[in-house]
Amino acid sequence: MMAIPDTDAHLDGHPVITYTYSLFIDRAKGNPQQALKKESTLHLDKINDPDYLGFIAFETPANVFSYTGGERSLTVAEIEEVIEHLNLIRDNPPLWRSMDNL
């Protein structure tokens, strides 16, 4: 699975983690070019990408989340696993990677 932050915001030259993540099947197994093609996905439009799994919005970090399914929806267990993994990354800035550095 590939989780793509919806924005690439920076504060004083440091990356800032977003609150919404688009989720896709990772068919290219981590190839950054695949992620770059999907990076500008907007949730306002219907997304017809068969690899689109929806998006997770962190409304109150570590407390309140919402999930909106895509062409294929995740199970409750999968959603919980993704949220747990994203929280781990969000809470540990050394794990953050910019697509520019891949």
d(CA 17, CA 96): 8
Taking phi first (over 0 means left), then psi (-120 to 50 degrees means alpha), and beta for anything else, what does residue 96 get? beta
d(CA 64, CA 50): 27
d(CA 25, CA 8): 21
The full length of the chain comes to 102
d(CA 85, CA 94): 14
The overall average pLDDT reported for the chain is 75
Q: How confident is the model at residue 99 (pLDDT cuts 50, 70, 90)?
A: very low
d(CA 1, CA 85): 11
pLDDT digits (tens, 9 = 90+) for 11-54: 666 655 557 888 888 887 766 666 666 665 555 567 778 888 99
User: pTM surpassing 0.85?
Assistant: no
